[in-house]
Amino acid sequence: MSAAAALPTRSQILNIFRSLLRVSRKFPDYNIRHYVNRRTADAFSAPYRRATSDRLLALRSQS
């Protein structure tokens, strides 16, 4: 077994995202269905938002 695991590719990440959204459509309860959709979208967009905010802070500190 290797010490460092390989990072997932963009297509693998999108595949997981789509499958989670597909599964969330199967919940019969409206509230749970929308909660899972919201949490999935938040979890997958959090790294992008964090990277964007870090970039903005770096630009602000340079000026």
pLDDT tens digits, one per residue of 14-45: 999 999 999 999 999 999 999 999 999 999 88
pLDDT at 50 over 80: no
> What CA–CA distance (Å, rounded) separates 45 from 6?
21
pLDDT at 47 over 70: yes
> Across residues 3-12, what is the average pLDDT?
82
The total number of residues written for the chain in this structure? 63
Q: What per-residue confidence (pLDDT) applies to 37?
A: 94
61 contacts 30 by C-beta, under 8 angstroms: no
pLDDT at 6 over 90: no
More reliable by pLDDT, 21 or 59: 21
